[in-house]
Amino acid sequence: MHKRPFLFSLAMIVLVSACATAPKAANADTAPASEAAAPQAASESNKTSEVIKISTNGKYSFYVNDVENPELTLKRGKTYQIEVDTPGHPLWIKSKDSVTTDNAYSDGVTNNGTYKGTVTFAVPADAPATLFYNCQYHLMMHGKVNIID
Ligand SMILES: [Cu+2]
């Protein structure tokens, strides 16, 4: 007697799941051609979040995609997961290009000052046009952060 209700429930779950995913698939099939043909770059920049990986490559510089101390351009209203792997070089988002923990920019920033982990930066609508990323100890490990709309 106990087995049948269980199997029935299982069947219902499968049925409900199938129904829930069906409309999505149908929409994808009927998406307008213009939308389907949207350039890859445009859809990338329109995402609400993005991952940025920062390392040191064992040197006294920060690297993003193998570029040394690059200028970063971030958008207001977008959230960035900055994956930091820079042992010995705590990374800070700052309002002023500087060493130590001074001038940390904290609006929308979680885990600022890490060297191993993720600094999350949800760029506020009122963020200034220019910020910086800095090593806590070495001034030559730094870069400019351009904030755009
Ligand atoms: Cu450093």
Residue 47: the pLDDT is 84
In a domain, 15, yes or no: no
What spacing in Å lies between the alpha carbon of 88 and ligand 1's midpoint? Answer: 6
In a domain, 141, yes or no: yes
More confident residue, 12 or 74: 74
Average pLDDT, whole number, for the chain? 81
Q: Which structural domain, as residue segments, surrounds residue 128?
A: 49-148
Q: Could you tell me which residues are beta bridge partners of residue 51?
A: 81
With cut-offs at 50, 70 and 90, classify the pLDDT of residue 43.
low
In a domain, 138, yes or no: yes
Backbone φ and ψ of 22, nearest 5°? -60, -50
What spacing in Å lies between the alpha carbon of 92 and ligand 1's midpoint? Answer: 11
What spacing in Å lies between the alpha carbon of 119 and ligand 1's midpoint? Answer: 16
In a domain, 95, yes or no: yes
In a domain, 140, yes or no: yes
Pair of tokens at residue 117: 């982990």
In a domain, 104, yes or no: yes
Q: What angle do CA 136, 138, 140 make, to 5 degrees?
A: 125
Residue 120: the pLDDT is 98
What spacing in Å lies between the alpha carbon of 4 and ligand 1's midpoint? Answer: 65
What spacing in Å lies between the alpha carbon of 78 and ligand 1's midpoint? Answer: 27
pTM above 0.85, yes or no: no
Q: Residue 87 sits in a domain of what CATH number?
A: 2.60.40.420
With cut-offs at 50, 70 and 90, classify the pLDDT of residue 23.
very low
Number of structural domains (the chain) is 1
